[in-house]
Structure 1
Amino acid sequence: MKAIKEVVRQLIKTHKSNDPFQIAKEKNIIILFAELGNTLGFYSSYKRTQFIHLNSQLDEMMQRFVCAHELGHAVLHPDSNTPFLRANTLFSVEKLEVEANTFAVELLLSDDIITQYQNTDLTIYDIAEIYSVPRQLVYLKSCLQPSFF
């Protein structure tokens, strides 16, 4: 997971932002909004053009996290089609999903952000909520100190 943290750190440095929408735009990844039913979002590519599909029914905070997650797929697994693999093969996509979630958590909850709150009464869960990271995924943050829990 340290490799993912370094990829994210370099991405933030290159794009001078941790905003997944801005980074996607600068990487020429097209973001499409559509009603996707129960699907939060997905990543796809066609003829070297990359797409992030986001469920337009999600609130802004969740769209931000899902965009970060799908950006993780675009950066870490650009040639993998998890919806296809899930529907048509016995290949487990769990590892790819955990990596994309880890990417999203590292992007939205960078070490610099956490450090800003170190001497406050906020818990890591409070900080995560401020930065659009679902509470149940906070455990993926690799630099956490016990005092934050």
Structure 2
Amino acid sequence: MQWIDNIVLGLVDEYGTRDVYELCDCLEIEIRGLDPSSIILNGHEAFYYRHFNGAEIIFISNKLENPLKEFVLKHELGHALCHTGILSAGFLYSNIHKLEKQANYFAFKLSDISFDKVELREMTLEQIASCLEIPYEPLKQLVNL
């Protein structure tokens, strides 16, 4: 997905950071934590709205902890930058839709995850996800692209 690679590289070049909080600030995308039972989240871990009362907002469960929270924010930022034709998108671990896979790919690229292939050779995907502190389901989807 070279086009997503180009978006990430351009973003990092333009703003000099991979920090999702700084990037959202630069791009004027608000981040608001909500109780997981909020009707806005509608059962999702996070939800991106392009035009919510005139603002771009990522609503995210305030129960998520890092590093998962940062991955989910990067995923939603991926929707904001890669899927400009959508008005909203929600994060679920099991999403297999094309746009969700692209947003996951964006999150991995923005994270700039690197690893030693020899060290991870004998590990399962679950173990690799744990070692790299990334969610298993999106990693599984990325491997199956």
| TM-score in terms of structure 1 length | 0.70
Rate the CA distance shift 1:132–1:101 in 2: closer, same or farther, 3 A.
same
Counterpart AA for 1:138: L
SS of the aligned residue for 2:49 comes to: strand
| Structure 2 letter corresponding to 1:100 | A
Whether contact under 8 Å (1:65, 1:132) holds in the other structure is no
- Confirm whether residue 42 of structure 1 aligns to residue 47 of structure 2: yes
2:86 alignment partner, SS class:
coil
Structure 2 match to 1:65? 71
2:97 paired residue number: 94
Deviations 1:1-54 (A, max 9, x none): 111011111111212111111111111111110013331101102265211111
Amino acid at match of 2:66: E
Amino acid at match of 1:71: L
Secondary structure at the counterpart of residue 18 of structure 2: coil
Sort the Cα spacing of 1:45 and 1:137 in 2 relative to 1 into closer, same or farther, 3 A: closer
Match of 2:84 among 65, 75, 78: 78
Give, in angstroms, the shift of residue 132 of structure 1.
Answer: 4.3
Instruction: Output the CA distance in 2 between the equivalents of 1:132 and 1:20.
Output: 16
Paired residues in the alignment total 128
**CA-atom RMSD in angstroms:** 2.9
Q: Which residue of 2 is the match for residue 18 of structure 1? A: 18
Q: What is the distance in 2 between the residues matched to 1:132 and 1:76?
A: 24
Higher helix proportion (structure 1 or 2): 1
Q: Which runs of 5+ in 2 are unaligned?
A: 38-42, 91-95
- C-alpha offsets along residues 91-147 of structure 1, whole Å, 9 cap, x if unaligned? xx8121111111111111x2xx52xx5498466967765664223433527xxxxxx
Deviation at 1:78, TM superposition (A): 3.1
User: Is 1:104 matched with 2:110?
Assistant: no
Distance (whole Å) between structure 2 residues aligned to residue 19 and residue 105 of structure 1: 13
CA distance in 1, matches of 2:89, 2:10: 28
Q: What SS does structure 2 have at the residue aligned with 1:44?
A: strand
Q: 1:32–1:106: structure 2 CA closer, same or farther, 3 Å change rule?
A: same
Unpaired stretches in structure 1, ≥5 consecutive residues: 85-92, 142-149
Q: TM-score, normalised by structure 2?
A: 0.72
